[in-house]
């Protein structure tokens, strides 16, 4: 008789857990459904909270200090890349109209104390004044909630940290869980130094903090616009491939906090999977507009996953689904897991055994572009076909193989198939995309 291993005990524990959490409904696993149930349980057991939003390998935050005129231009350069950044200002000399405009465009305005003094060498009353007064002036003059703080000269004490957290939700160089390293942007910085810092941070899965001041001669050790664009081009390559999540200080550190605080509870009854995020502190995040969290579910060709809970963002990435939701709106996610139709399974199995090719953007709204769709060597493209998850041919194109208009497709997952003739052989290339 085969020994009952630790793995088997673990599987049995999972089965019993989901059976006892079935709200009184019959959840007995019959022999004929045993394979299906084991497969579902294996998928459910693999569901995890992503360390970073959209399951990026790392998060990167750009911030700029001291409230300089050139920071308006910096923010607009970030807009060109679709990125948002944080500006830590000294409010006794604010450019109010510029800061209002930056905040309206989605950039974060944080505090850098009232008069840029080191918090490491003053008493508690002065620390309280520097942190409190700065926050009050920023919020009153700009009309925003000021949630993030940066210590001048990066000098702190345990007392100053406690006072900072009595007024602010986030500090650039530390959280209540982790002390953060950062890369200071100076006029002498090089792209190779930045590349090494980013690569090392990605390998460790850390939050990356890049902090500078001004641009083109403005402020302390300013950088050039050319160098800033070189940095953003580098980051954009990582961002495009889903490796880096580029965001503001408050959103990055908020996600880091949530990752440490939340517990994921899973309940499965019939076809319904309920994922509940436990320990979400509504009071702690009362001043936030949102509190986003992502989970990842391994892709399995045998099951189709659909959303019941509203306002959930769904992405297909490599071999997994990524679901993202706002905990301020709901702390539970309800999904339906059903066996895929034979047609779906067949086309997904075919997808797994064929060569992939590059399509972009993904997810897509209007025009799907196909990279390297030209004639390859002696090969000739015969057609481009799009299938839905039921395996039904939705769209076919026999000319113009560089792009396809998918604006009329319904939201959902699709498969695109490129049929090529190479010499006397028909070769098939496939990729998948999400229409939103």
Decide if pLDDT at 246 tops 70.
yes
For helices 225-240 and 70-81, angle between their N-to-C axes, nearest 10 degrees: 30
Q: Which helix (H) or strand (E) holds 321?
A: strand 320-326
For helices 6-20 and 34-45, angle between their N-to-C axes, nearest 10 degrees: 90
Q: Which of 313 and 240 is assigned the larger pLDDT?
A: 313
Q: Which of 10-19, 220-229, 410-419 shows the lowest mean pLDDT across its residues?
A: 10-19
Specify whether the CB–CB gap between 141 and 178 falls below 8 A.
Answer: no
DSSP track, 350-365 = HHHHSEE--EESSSBS
Q: Which of 270 and 183 is assigned the larger pLDDT?
A: 183
Q: Which of 303 and 108 is assigned the larger pLDDT?
A: 108
Burial (CB count <10 Å: 0-12, 13-18, 19+), residue 146: buried
For helices 158-167 and 124-142, angle between their N-to-C axes, nearest 10 degrees: 30
> Which of 342, 337, 324, 330 has its CA nearest to residue 389?
342
Banded model confidence at residue 292, pLDDT cuts 50, 70, 90:
very high
Place of tokens 């969290």: 293
Decide if pLDDT at 386 tops 60.
yes
Decide if pLDDT at 14 tops 70.
no
What is the C-alpha separation between 324 and 251, in angstroms, rounded?
14
Q: Which helix (H) or strand (E) holds 108?
A: strand 108-111
pLDDT in tens, 2-11: 344 444 444 4
- In the chain, what are the domains? 29-53+256-339 (2.60.40.1180), 58-241 (3.20.20.370), 342-435 (2.60.40.730)
Q: What are phi and psi of 147, to 5 degrees?
A: -110, -15
Token pair belonging to 54: 């959209």
Burial 111-120 (b: 16+ CB within 10 A, else e): bbbbebbebe
Q: Which of 78 and 270 is assigned the larger pLDDT?
A: 78
What is the C-alpha separation between 397 and 418, in angstroms, rounded?
10
Burial (CB count <10 Å: 0-12, 13-18, 19+), residue 342: exposed
pTM given for the model = 0.73
Decide if pLDDT at 348 tops 80.
no
Specify whether the CB–CB gap between 248 and 62 falls below 8 A.
Answer: no
Residue 432: strand, helix, or coil = strand
Helix (H) and strand (E) counts in the chain: 10, 24
Q: What are phi and psi of 286, to 5 degrees?
A: -65, -25
First-last CA distance in the chain: 52
pLDDT in tens, 51-100: 999 999 999 999 999 989 999 999 999 999 999 999 999 998 899 999 99
Strand partners, 64: 87, 212
What is the C-alpha separation between 281 and 151, in angstroms, rounded?
26
pLDDT in tens, 132-182: 999 999 999 999 999 999 999 999 999 999 999 999 999 999 998 888 889
């Amino acid at each position: 008789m085969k020994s009952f291993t630790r793995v088997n005990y673990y599987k049995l524990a999972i089965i019993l857990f989901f059976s006892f959490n079935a709200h009184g409904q019959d959840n007995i696993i019959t022999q004929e459904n045993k394979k299906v149930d084991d497969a579902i349980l294996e998928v459910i057991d693999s569901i995890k909270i992503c360390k970073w939003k959209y399951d990026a390998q790392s998060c990167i935050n750009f911030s700029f200090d001291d409230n300089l005129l050139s920071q308006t231009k910096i923010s607009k350069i970030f807009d060109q890349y679709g990125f948002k950044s944080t500006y830590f200002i000294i409010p006794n000399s604010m450019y109010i109209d510029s800061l209002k405009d930056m905040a309206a465009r989605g950039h974060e305005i944080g505090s850098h104390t009232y008069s840029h003094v080191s918090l490491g060498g003053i008493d508690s009353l002065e620390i309280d004044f520097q942190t409190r007064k700065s926050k009050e002036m920023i919020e009153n003059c700009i009309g925003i909630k000021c949630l993030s703080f940066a210590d001048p000269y990066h000098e702190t004490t345990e007392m100053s940290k406690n006072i900072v957290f009595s007024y602010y939700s986030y500090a650039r160089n530390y959280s209540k869980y982790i002390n953060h390293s950062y890369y200071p942007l100076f006029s002498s910085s090089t792209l190779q130094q930045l590349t090494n810092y980013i690569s090392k941070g990605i390998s460790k899965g850390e939050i990356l903090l890049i902090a500078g001041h001004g641009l083109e001669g403005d402020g302390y050790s300013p950088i050039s616009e050319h160098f800033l664009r070189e940095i953003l081009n580098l980051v954009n390559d990582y961002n495009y491939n889903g490796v880096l999540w580029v965001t503001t200080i408050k959103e990055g550190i908020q996600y880091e906090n949530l990752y440490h605080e939340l517990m994921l509870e899973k309940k499965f009854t019939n076809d319904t999977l309920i994922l509940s995020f436990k320990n979400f502190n509504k009071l702690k995040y009362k001043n936030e507009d949102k509190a986003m969290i992502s989970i990842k579910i391994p892709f399995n060709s045998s099951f189709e996953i659909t959303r019941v809970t509203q306002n959930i963002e769904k992405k297909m990435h490599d071999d997994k689904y990524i679901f993202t939701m706002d905990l301020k709106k709901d702390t539970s996610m309800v999904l339906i897991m059903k066996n895929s139709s034979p047609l779906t399974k067949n086309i997904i199995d075919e997808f797994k055994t064929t060569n992939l090719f590059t399509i972009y953007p993904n997810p897509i709204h209007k025009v799907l572009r196909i990279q390297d769709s030209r004639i390859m060597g002696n090969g000739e493209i015969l057609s481009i076909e799009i299938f839905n998850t039921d395996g039904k041919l939705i769209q076919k194109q026999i000319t113009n193989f560089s792009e396809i208009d998918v604006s009329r497709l319904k939201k959902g997952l699709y498969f695109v198939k490129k049929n090529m003739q190479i010499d006397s052989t028909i070769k098939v290339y496939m990729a998948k995309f999400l229409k939103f």
